[in-house]
A = this chain, B = another copy of it.
Amino acid sequence: MDGKPGLRERKKQRTHAAISDAAITLFLEHGFNQVSVAQVAEAAEVSKRTLFAYFPTKEDLVVHRLADHETELARVVRARPPGTAPLTAVREHFLEGLRERDPITGLNDHPQVRRLHRMILDAPSLMARMERFKTGAERALAQALRETADTPELTARLAAVQIVAVHWALAQDNAERLAYGEPADKRHAGAVADAAHAFALLENGLRHLPPRQ
């Protein structure tokens, strides 16, 4: 079908990859804030202007790799088998991610991934970018809920923000622990237990939070 992307298209893809690779390499080696976009452009043998034609901001040089995951929860909810509740689908998907050490769960300890996570955790501008990411995930998930669970607008939005917030909190907790040394295999059991607890809380609500005595 796409056997002929055309030279122009192929070259664009190669340039895109070259810039991204140069950026990641330099950032991992010297730190995100220590490397300027001019240096990245030079390393990728491209002008600064061209770099910004491919990546709108410096942060995107890092975050574009996660772009697919922005709609991941929405896709999971849409693809759930008949009879399955949205939350069940999300929970199972997350547990599977933990098993497979999917980086999105924070439970991948390959050195590259660990350094990448540490880099993001340490750079405020990258964390800010991740928040925008969360916002996109909320919107996509809300729409999926509306369309596949016959849920009113407000309920869908509220459920979406809760699910995304919890999902992110779990992943971030894992990533933080692994970023500074804890091995994934050692963390796995705890991560599963935490996820089970978190999704139970999400399902059953906060009404059991202890009152002031």
Contact = CB atoms under 8 A, between A and B. Distances in A.
Given A159-B206, A206-B159, A81 B212 contact: yes
Interface string A111-128: 000000000000010001
Interface stretch (A1-9, A45-53, A196-204): A196-204
A67 interface: no
A128 B133 CA distance: 11
A203 B203 contact: no
A206 B158 CA distance: 10
Given A80-B212, A84-B211, A209-B145, A162 B165 contact: yes
**Is chain A's interface secondary structure helix, strand, loop, or mixed overall?**
helix
B81 A201 contact: no
Contacts of A159: 201, 206, 209
A207 interface: yes
A82 interface: yes
Interface stretch (A12-20, A148-156, A177-185): A148-156
A212 B82 CA distance: 5
Chain A interface category by residue count: 35 or more
Given A131-B131, A204-B205, A211 B85 contact: yes
Contact of A154 (B84, B145, B155, B198): B198
Contact of A82 (B204, B207, B213): B213
Interface of A: 80-88, 124, 128, 131-132, 135, 145, 148-151, 154-155, 157-159, 161-166, 168-169, 173, 194, 197-198, 201-207, 209-213
30 contacts: A80-B211, A81-B212, A82-B211, A82-B212, A83-B213, A84-B211, A85-B209, A85-B210, A128-B131, A131-B132, A145-B209, A148-B212, A149-B210, A150-B210, A154-B198, A157-B169, A158-B166, A158-B169, A158-B197, A158-B201, A161-B169, A162-B162, A162-B166, A163-B206, A165-B165, A201-B205, A203-B207, A204-B204, A204-B207, A205-B206
